């Protein structure tokens, strides 16, 4: 069963002459374990589409199914529960809670999902992204790359089925960006977690196995690479 | 929920200055509420106490239509208690003592002063009218030979002290003029202005001679508890029959306490306005917090916090401000109330001179302190804070998460 299925999904903003068609009639299936990137110029609908896949936003038309179940009729609480249980988010601007330390930010994800043993799991997740020793730092005491690693730990600590990352490297320099992508790839392979991310950076998209090109809210091309892209540091 | 509480606390602490500013009005409001209640309660208690302990007891028996305003104490009607009334007192009262109130002129050398004579039984009187608060210069007369006990205010006006010989002039029961030369046995400060300024305690044996009648004008009654007064008064009335009047401490102090109720209402209104003002401050703070933290709200929603969770988070921030400021205000107000319950304010300095006559009012104002009275103000403070945050918290919970996560 696919992790996520979009059937005839459209999303418009506003109404009348100011109406914007951000996403138009998209059909898309994401299988478990995929490492997929949405590519397109700014304004092509990447963020809008990711938000609907992540059940943070509802389509104007069409339906979104998560693990086979339609999400259209779900209450706010049910959607929140679904996000807490099944979906992790990574943002372009990291979006860490400024008043919480690194470990508390991660722990918060465990607690929001109603899980126990949050502190230990948060430490373990931070260790997995290579941040052991920095658990007690506040976001403003961490570099951008470190902050995004905390965000990755936070998105993954509850072992979601699907992780959504909207331009995760856009606020990082290329070295840090490459490291973050490398980390996501590693976690994808290790845990089988499905990753969907977006970028308008050609270098970033090389890390993906499947690339969905968006243009004006439509899918222009959908490519699956036979072999995984070469890993950073392995030649080229 | 505990992680939301932690988050709420952290955010309040991070904006400590703003938090303090917006809660200070609540702190002040609760402080005034607690201290004001304690003071007004203390005044009320003082009024009741000094009436009870000085002039009325728990229940007072006197002639029907006895004038209870101004300084006029006719001795036209003197009392013989009927047997059924004695039986009621025997059964239900702790003690009852006779007293005779009469208007006398006290002459000391060239000076004279009109005052209220209180005829009393030197031995028994204390069973109904306690003397713990009395400060006596000289001594309380134990017998008729000792003479009279003069209120400190009256003594000061005449410039006399213990040992001075004075002349008491009054009218007998039959209406003739009479006078008696007696020594001043002592000078008393009871704390009750009505007594200290214008009264003299005269042993019954002397009064009987002065008014040429051994009967008293009043009976003061002390009960096991002041709350029994209405029931005992109701039992006494039929036993006494016509010609008598039975009044309780409550009836005697009602007029004065009504003034206190107005004072209490004025305090409530003042505190109400303060709390209303502070609610705007809190509402504004929560609204600002919600606007500053749009992205955080979106992120929390993405992480699986429901709308109700966001509502709860901001209500907690508001509620916590209410809890902290309520506790602080109640703590400060309570400390003040406690202090003044142990160290009374001396009102005799503060224009108390204008309150002569029959107004019964202690010159020492003790605050009424009871830890239980801190509970309601804290709850009020929390309620105000929660109400004030309700609308901003609701608007925070209504933000569309997809847009909120992108906010700057
Ligand atoms: N809240 C909104 N209101 C109106 N238009 C919007 C809103 N969000 C996005 N859009 C428009 O929808 C289109 C797609 O935007 P977006 O999904 O952000 O694209 P991308 O992430 O690829 O840059 C753009 O034209 C954008 O201006
Ligand atoms: Mg975008």
Domain that holds residue A108: 35-57+74-224
Task: Report the pLDDT value the prediction gives residue B2, as an integer from 0 to 100.
Answer: 82
Question: CB within 5 A of ion ligand 2: which residues?
Answer: A 47
C-beta A40 within 6 A of ligand 1: yes
Q: What is the pLDDT of residues A68-87, one digit of tens each?
A: 999 999 999 999 999 999 99
With bands split at pLDDT 50, 70 and 90, how would you rate the model's confidence at B69? low
C-beta A14 within 6 A of ligand 1: yes
Is A9 within the bounds of a domain?
Answer: no
Q: What is the pLDDT of residues B292-328, one digit of tens each?
A: 999 999 999 999 999 999 999 999 999 999 999 999 9
Q: How far is the CA of B1 from the centre of ligand 2 (A)?
A: 33
Q: Looking at beta carbons, which residues of chain A come within 8 Å of B298?
A: 95
Average pLDDT for B215-229: 93
Question: How many Cβ atoms are within 10 Å of B70's Cβ, its own excluded?
Answer: 9
Is A69 within the bounds of a domain?
Answer: no
Closest CA to B250 of B226, B234, B273, B281: B226
Identify whether the C-beta of residue B184 lies closer than 8 Å to the C-beta of residue B166: yes
The DSSP line for A1-46 is: --SEEEEEEEEEES-GGG-EEEEEEEEEEE-TT-EEEEE--TTSSH
Task: Report the pLDDT value the prediction gives residue A231, as an integer from 0 to 100.
Answer: 53
Q: Kindly report the average pLDDT of chain A as a whole number.
A: 91
Q: What φ, ψ does residue A98 adopt, rounded to 5°?
A: -65, -30
Task: Report the pLDDT value the prediction gives residue B149, as an integer from 0 to 100.
Answer: 96
C-beta B403 within 6 A of ligand 1: yes
| Closest residue to atom 11 of ligand 1, CA basis | A22
Report how far apart, in Å, the C-alpha atoms of B290 and of each of A105, A142, B261 are: 19, 25, 42
Identify whether the C-beta of residue A199 lies closer than 8 Å to the C-beta of residue A26: no
In chain A, the percentage of residues whose pLDDT exceeds 90 is 80
CA distance A162 to A156: 9
Q: Which residue out of A23, A24, A45 has the highest number of ligand 1 atoms within 8 Å of its CB and is therefore the one to mutate?
A: A45
Domain locations along chain B: 2-51+255-406, 59-222
Average pLDDT for B4-33: 91
- B194 against B278, higher pLDDT: B278
Q: Kindly report the average pLDDT of chain B as a whole number.
A: 89
C-beta A22 within 6 A of ligand 1: yes
Average pLDDT for B17-45: 90
Identify whether the C-beta of residue A97 lies closer than 8 Å to the C-beta of residue A105: yes
Choosing among A108, A138, A147, A153, which should be mutated to test the B contact, i.e. which has the most B CBs within 10 A? A108
Is A98 within the bounds of a domain?
Answer: yes
Q: What is the pLDDT of residues A103-131, one digit of tens each?
A: 999 999 999 988 788 899 999 999 999 99
Is A8 within the bounds of a domain?
Answer: no
A76–B306 CB contact, under 8 Å: yes
Q: Which residue out of A15, A23, A38, A48 has the highest number of ligand 1 atoms within 8 Å of its CB and is therefore the one to mutate?
A: A48
Q: What is the pLDDT of residues B116-144, one digit of tens each?
A: 999 999 999 999 999 988 889 999 999 99
Q: How far is CA B43 from the centre of its chain?
A: 3
C-beta A47 within 6 A of ligand 1: yes
Inter-chain CB pairs, A–B, below 8 Å: 76
As to burial, measured by CB atoms within 10 angstroms (0-12 exposed, 13-18 middle, 19+ buried), residue A234 is: exposed
As to burial, measured by CB atoms within 10 angstroms (0-12 exposed, 13-18 middle, 19+ buried), residue A214 is: buried
CA distance B303 to B306: 9
| Closest residue to atom 12 of ligand 1, CA basis | A22
CA distance A60 to A58: 7
Closest CA to B99 of B76, B129, B69: B129
Composition of chain B by helix, strand, coil, percent to 5: 55, 20, 25
With bands split at pLDDT 50, 70 and 90, how would you rate the model's confidence at B350? low
Average pLDDT for A195-219: 89
C-beta A44 within 6 A of ligand 1: yes
Which residue among B3, B295, B402 sits closest to A57, beta carbon to beta carbon? Answer: B402
Instruction: Please state the pTM of the whole predicted model.
Output: 0.80
Give the nearest chain B residue to A47 (CA atoms).
B402
Closest CA to B294 of B310, B281, B282: B310
How close does chain A come to B262, measured CA to CA in Å? 49
Average pLDDT for B354-367: 58
pLDDT at B346 over 80: no
Is A1 within the bounds of a domain?
Answer: no
Report how far apart, in Å, the C-alpha atoms of B333 and of each of B30, B261, B320, B367, B368 are: 7, 20, 19, 11, 12
CATH code of A175's domain: 3.40.50.300
Burial B204-232 (b: 16+ CB within 10 A, else e): bebbbebbebeebbbbbbbbeebebbeeb
Q: Looking at beta carbons, which residues of chain A come within 8 Å of B13?
A: 99
How close does chain B come to A148, measured CA to CA in Å? 14
Lowest mean pLDDT across A17-26, A221-230, B36-45: A221-230
With bands split at pLDDT 50, 70 and 90, how would you rate the model's confidence at B66? confident
| Closest residue to atom 20 of ligand 1, CA basis | A43
pLDDT at A233 over 50: no
Residues of A with CB under 8 A from a CB of B: 47-48, 51, 54, 56-57, 76-77, 80-81, 83-85, 89, 91, 93, 95, 97-100, 104, 107-109, 111-113, 154
Average pLDDT for A163-181: 92
> SS in 3 state form for B258-273?
HHHHHHHHHHHHHHHH
Task: Report the pLDDT value the prediction gives residue B349, as an integer from 0 to 100.
Answer: 59
Which residue among A76, A104, A112 sits closest to B303, beta carbon to beta carbon? Answer: A112
Task: Report the pLDDT value the prediction gives residue A234, as an integer from 0 to 100.
Answer: 45
Choosing among A23, A112, A138, A161, which should be mutated to test the B contact, i.e. which has the most B CBs within 10 A? A112
| Cα diameter, chain A | 55
CA distance B200 to B176: 21
Atom of ligand 1 nearest to the CA of A23: 14
Q: Looking at beta carbons, which residues of chain A come within 8 Å of B302?
A: 54, 56, 83, 89
Window 266-325 of B: residues touching A by CB (8 A cutoff) are 295-296, 298-309
Q: What φ, ψ does residue B49 adopt, rounded to 5°?
A: -55, -50
Identify whether the C-beta of residue B143 lies closer than 8 Å to the C-beta of residue B203: yes
Domain count of the fold of chain A: 1
Q: How far is the CA of A92 from the centre of ligand 2 (A)?
A: 9
A95–B296 CB contact, under 8 Å: yes
The 3-state DSSP class for residue B229 equals: helix
Atom of ligand 1 nearest to the CA of A200: 22
Q: How far is the CA of A13 from the centre of ligand 2 (A)?
A: 15
Q: How far is the CA of A43 from the centre of ligand 1 (A)?
A: 6
Which residue among B2, B3, B405 sits closest to A95, beta carbon to beta carbon? Answer: B405
Identify whether the C-beta of residue A181 lies closer than 8 Å to the C-beta of residue A129: no
């Amino acid at each position: 069963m696919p992790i996520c299925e979009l059937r005839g999904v459209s999303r418009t903003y506003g109404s009348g002459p100011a109406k914007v068609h951000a996403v138009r009639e998209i059909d898309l299936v994401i299988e478990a374990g995929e490492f997929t990137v949405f590519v397109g110029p700014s304004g092509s609908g990447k963020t809008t589409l990711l938000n609907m896949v992540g059940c943070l936003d509802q389509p104007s038309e069409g339906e979104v199914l998560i693990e086979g179940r339609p999400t259209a009729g779900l209450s706010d609480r049910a959607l929140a529960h679904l996000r807490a249980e099944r979906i992790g988010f990574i943002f372009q601007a990291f979006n860490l809670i400024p008043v919480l330390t690194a470990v508390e930010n991660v722990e918060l994800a465990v607690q929001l999902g109603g899980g126990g043993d949050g502190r230990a799991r948060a430490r373990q997740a931070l260790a997995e992204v290579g941040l052991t020793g920095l658990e007690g730092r506040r976001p403003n005491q961490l570099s951008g790359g470190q902050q995004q690693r905390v965000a990755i730990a936070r998105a993954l600590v509850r072992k979601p089925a699907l992780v959504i990352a909207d331009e995760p490297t856009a606020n990082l320099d290329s070295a840090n960006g490459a490291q973050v992508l490398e980390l996501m790839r590693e976690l994808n392979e290790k845990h089988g977690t499905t990753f969907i991310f977006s970028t308008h950076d050609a270098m970033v998209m090389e890390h993906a196995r499947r690339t969905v090109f968006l243009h004006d809210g439509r899918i222009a091309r959908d490519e699956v690479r036979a072999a995984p892209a070469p890993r950073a540091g392995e030649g080229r | 929920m505990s992680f939301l509480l932690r988050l709420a606390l952290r955010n309040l602490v991070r904006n400590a200055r703003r938090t303090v500013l917006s809660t200070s009005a609540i702190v002040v409001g609760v402080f005034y509420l607690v201290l004001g209640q304690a003071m007004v309660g203390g005044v009320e208690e003082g009024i009741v106490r000094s009436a009870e302990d000085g002039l009325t007891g728990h229940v007072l028996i006197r002639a029907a239509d006895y004038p209870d305003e101004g300084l006029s104490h006719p001795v036209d009607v003197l009392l013989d208690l009927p047997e059924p009334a004695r039986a009621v007192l025997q059964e239900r009262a702790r003690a009852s003592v006779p007293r005779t109130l009469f208007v006398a002129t006290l002459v000391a050398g060239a000076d004279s002063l009109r005052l209220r004579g209180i005829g009393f039984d030197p031995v028994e009187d204390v069973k109904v009218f306690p003397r713990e608060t009395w400060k006596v210069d000289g001594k309380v007369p134990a017998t008729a030979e000792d003479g009279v006990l003069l209120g400190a205010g009256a003594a000061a006006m005449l410039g006399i002290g213990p040992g001075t010989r004075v002349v008491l002039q009054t009218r007998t029961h039959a209406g003739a003029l009479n006078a008696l030369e007696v020594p001043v046995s002592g000078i008393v400060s009871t704390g009750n202005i009505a007594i200290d300024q214008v009264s003299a305690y005269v042993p019954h044996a002397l009064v009987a001679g002065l008014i040429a009648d051994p009967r008293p004008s009043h009976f003061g009654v002390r009960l096991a508890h002041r709350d029994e007064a209405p029931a005992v008064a109701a039992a006494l009335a039929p036993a006494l029959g016509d010609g008598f009047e039975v009044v309780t401490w409550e009836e005697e102090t009602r007029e004065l306490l009504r003034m206190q109720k107005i004072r209490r209402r004025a305090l409530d209104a003042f505190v109400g306005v303060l709390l209303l003002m502070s609610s705007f401050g809190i509402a504004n703070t929560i609204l600002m917090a919600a606007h500053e933290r749009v992205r955080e709200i979106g992120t929390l929603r993405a992480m699986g916090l429901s709308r109700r969770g966001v509502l709860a988070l901001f209500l907690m921030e508001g509620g916590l401000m209410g809890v902290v400021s309520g506790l602080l205000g109640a703590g400060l107000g309570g400390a003040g109330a406690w202090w003044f319950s142990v160290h009374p304010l001396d009102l005799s300095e503060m224009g108390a001179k204008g309150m002569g006559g029959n107004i019964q009012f202690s010159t020492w104002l003790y605050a009424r302190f009871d830890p239980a009275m801190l509970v309601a103000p804290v709850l009020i403070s929390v309620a105000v804070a929660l109400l004030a945050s309700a609308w901003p918290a609701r608007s925070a919970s209504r933000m569309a998460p997809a847009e909120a996560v992108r906010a700057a």
